[in-house]
Amino acid sequence: MEETLNIDKKYVENSLKQKINVLKDNRFLMDEVFIPISKALKIDVDEVIEIFLKKLDFTSCYELHAYAEQARMGCLGRKVDIDLGLCWLCDFFGLIKKEEADLIRKKVVELHVLHKKPYEEALEEGRKLIIKLLREE
């Protein structure tokens, strides 16, 4: 009985170690998920990883990378909306059409994520497009 309990305990410990390794060894997850979240919440990055480990099962940890790719594009798009004032110009004042805003947001995200342009430079491209539209050039 005791032996079975020990085997169970060892299994849990090994499983936890595996989960920690899966998450810690992934540079993309560190750079794109854990570090940004630790900065946003102003808590230690190790605590962020612990929270993910506590909340996610093993399969979800393996799938995290795929989710993170989606999240990176999605959350960056929302940041672009704020940084370029698209939230105001498109959604609330209707000075830019929704389709135009979608294209501009996509362009900035792609320039940064796919073409590795620094965020500020990608943003500047989006800014130019918006100003052109507003000036009706």
- Write out the residues near a copy of itself by the rule CB under 8 A: 33, 36-37, 40-43, 51-52, 55, 64, 67-68, 70-71, 74-75, 78-79, 81-85, 87-89, 91-93, 95, 127, 130-131, 134-135
Distance CA 28, CA 34 (A): 9
Of 22 and 37, CB closest to a copy of itself: 37
User: Could you give the CA distance from residue 99 to residue 115 in angstroms, rounded to a whole number?
Assistant: 22
Output the six-digit token pair for 59: 């399969």
Look up residue 28 and give its two tokens.
């993309």
3-class state of residue 14 by DSSP? helix
Indicate the residue among 41 and 103 with the shorter CB distance to a copy of itself. 41
Q: Which is nearer to a copy of itself, 116 or 135 (CB)?
A: 135
